[in-house]
Amino acid sequence: MNYTFIALVENKPGVLNRVASLFRRRNFNIESLAVGRTEKPDISRMTVVVDCPNGDLDAHKIEANLYKLVNVIDVQDVTNQPSVTRDLALIKVMVGPEKRAEVNSLADIFRARIVDVAADSVIVEITGTEDKIEGMIELLRPLGIVEMVRTGRVAMTRGVNDGVRRVPGANGSLWREDDESGLAEY
């Protein structure tokens, strides 16, 4: 089963490599990984979808191992939390002027947009859950998809709900953005 984790990491060179290397090293299977900036310039946010054949036990393993990386600040599992998840796809379809209308009407149904029109192709942009995007892809396929790119899932919990933090007492569960305990002194 796929689990979705949100990890906050320090925005430093090489951190993505550390996370990716960890997943390889511990033999976890990444389905998708999306990284980007957050509202704070020194923090990046990763949404990682991982196959967890052993369920929560694997999820615990993943969280605990992520915390072994010094640059990882917080990890939550949002798999079963009410949350908004989105994927974005750009899909290039081989259609001349005669079939553009057909693509256009499909796009309308899926609330997608045509963002580029060339002589014999168009690019469709679609945002939504993976299911919705899969649905659109299926319908576009017969028209001739020649190129496609997807961002992978990004996720955000609804309201003030947090995801699950399984690692008892691990650094992340202590971390609050206004908290000075981020300063380890010795």
Report the sign of the C-alpha dihedral through residues 156, 157, 158, 161, in that order.
Answer: negative
Whole-number Å distance between alpha carbons of 37 and 11: 8
Cβ partners under 8 Å of residue 3, min gap 6: 49, 50, 52, 58, 59, 62, 77, 79
The distance of closest approach from Cβ of residue 15 to another protein in the complex, given in angstroms and rounded to an integer, is 10
Footprint on residues 51-90 left by another protein (CB under 8 A): 57, 60-61, 63-65, 67-74
The distance of closest approach from Cβ of residue 155 to another protein in the complex, given in angstroms and rounded to an integer, is 20
Residue 80 vs 181, nearer CB to another protein: 181
Report the sign of the C-alpha dihedral through residues 121, 126, 131, 136, in that order.
Answer: negative
The distance of closest approach from Cβ of residue 170 to another protein in the complex, given in angstroms and rounded to an integer, is 5
Whole-number Å distance between alpha carbons of 10 and 164: 21
Determine the 3-state secondary structure of 185 from DSSP.
coil
Footprint on residues 11-30 left by another protein (CB under 8 A): 13-14, 17-18, 21, 25
Residue 160 vs 184, nearer CB to another protein: 184
Residue 181 engages another protein in binding (rule: CB under 8 A): yes
Footprint on residues 134-163 left by another protein (CB under 8 A): none
Residue 35, H or E segment: strand 29-37
Among 27, 142, 146, 186, binds another protein (CB under 8 A): 186
Residue 170 engages another protein in binding (rule: CB under 8 A): yes
Residue 164 engages another protein in binding (rule: CB under 8 A): no
Pairing of strands 113-117, 83-93: unpaired
Residue 82 vs 168, nearer CB to another protein: 168
Cβ partners under 8 Å of residue 80, min gap 6: 164
The distance of closest approach from Cβ of residue 31 to another protein in the complex, given in angstroms and rounded to an integer, is 21
Residue 40 vs 113, nearer CB to another protein: 40
Per the CB < 8 A criterion, the answer to whether 145 and 43 are in contact is no
* Residues found near another protein in the complex (CB under 8 A): 9-10, 13-14, 17-18, 21, 25, 57, 60-61, 63-65, 67-74, 167-172, 174-175, 181-186
